[in-house]
Structure 1
Amino acid sequence: MKIEIKIDANAEEKIIVSAKQMTSDLSEFLKDAEKRFNRPKLNGRLDEKVYLIDLDKIAQFVVVNKQVNAITLNNTALRLDQRLYQIEEVVASNFVRISKSEMINLDYIDYLKLEPNGLVQLAMKNGNTTYASRRYLKTIKERLSL
């Protein structure tokens, strides 16, 4: 597949895709492009205040006591009203589910450590450490090209 970019200060910003047929790879690309350019905003609560959350500032989504929290780069936890599966549907491909109760931003992984028991320890750039469950290991390894 070729990628062509034309820079024109007067042009309308749009993406045009030419293909012989729709493939699963092309479909995934289009879904990801839609999510990235039509960035959804989430509302997060901290104390009595409601904040608009920019997904670029989120390192993790974690479920604690049936409540979804968005964990920012500075380790602020904002409560969300949505369920984790609902958030998973609107975030871009740089987020990956690592367990039933957690999703992380791949851009904010500091390092990985493969444990002897087969688990993967993930150290995040915000200082948090978490583990990927075995159920999601295959997807994580594929996404990180391990």
Structure 2
Amino acid sequence: MQIEIKIDEAYKDPKVVILTNKITDEVNELLKRLSDTHPQTIAGFKDGNLKILQPDEIIRIFTENQKVYAQTEQGKYLIRLRLYELEERLDKGTFARISNSEIINLKKVENMDLSFSGTICVNLCNNITTFVSRRYVSKIKQILGI
């Protein structure tokens, strides 16, 4: 992809033009990022208190007893959004779905153990261990380029 910026004082607001021969996943992702109106912060509740969570604070997002939680270094926070809504809202280059019940922050991954047959063991910061379900193994390998 080529990126070109032109400074023209005739324009009061920025204007973005995409020139392409066809719509690709890369173009769609770019369009989504440019038109993203969702806030990047997430409201989390703990002990009756609201905390605004920044994406870089979140280690993982998971479901437990039919509720959605965000795990941070300070503990787990109840989230009032569904996993699919969070998956749409969060940066796909940073967060990855690893099962039907969990999304992880790829920047918080310490290592991955590929020796298990058909699955991947993921070790996150704060001694959190989780697993990529078989259904998501190929997607994770594609994201990581392995």
TM-score, scaled to structure 1: 0.83
Relative to structure 1, the CA distance from residue 43 to residue 15 in structure 2 (aligned partners, 3 Å threshold; closer, same or farther) is: farther
| 8 Å CA contact retained: 2:62, 2:103 | yes
Root mean square deviation, CA, Å: 2.5
Superposed, 1:1-146 pairs within 5 Å as 1-4=1-4, 16-21=16-21, 22-32=23-33, 34-35=35-36, 39-72=39-72, 74-93=73-92, 94-146=94-146
Bigger CA drift: 61-70 or 112-121?
112-121
Relative to structure 1, the CA distance from residue 39 to residue 17 in structure 2 (aligned partners, 3 Å threshold; closer, same or farther) is: farther
Q: Deviations over 1:118-144 (max 9, x none)?
A: 210111123211000000111111001
User: Could you tell me how far apart the structure 2 residues matched to 1:2 and 1:106 are?
Assistant: 27
Relative to structure 1, the CA distance from residue 14 to residue 124 in structure 2 (aligned partners, 3 Å threshold; closer, same or farther) is: farther
| 8 Å CA contact retained: 1:75, 1:126 | no
Relative to structure 1, the CA distance from residue 116 to residue 13 in structure 2 (aligned partners, 3 Å threshold; closer, same or farther) is: farther
Relative to structure 1, the CA distance from residue 13 to residue 100 in structure 2 (aligned partners, 3 Å threshold; closer, same or farther) is: farther
Aligned residue type for 1:137: V
Relative to structure 1, the CA distance from residue 38 to residue 80 in structure 2 (aligned partners, 3 Å threshold; closer, same or farther) is: closer
- Percent of paired sites with the same residue: 32
Aligned residue type for 2:114: L
TM-score, scaled to structure 2: 0.83
Aligned residue type for 1:2: Q
Aligned length: 141
Relative to structure 1, the CA distance from residue 106 to residue 119 in structure 2 (aligned partners, 3 Å threshold; closer, same or farther) is: same
Aligned residue type for 1:103: I
Residue segments in structure 1 that go unaligned for 5+ positions in a row: none
| 8 Å CA contact retained: 1:84, 1:101 | yes
Whichever of the two has the greater Rg, that structure is 2
Relative to structure 1, the CA distance from residue 2 to residue 86 in structure 2 (aligned partners, 3 Å threshold; closer, same or farther) is: same
The Cα shift of 1:55 comes to: 1.2
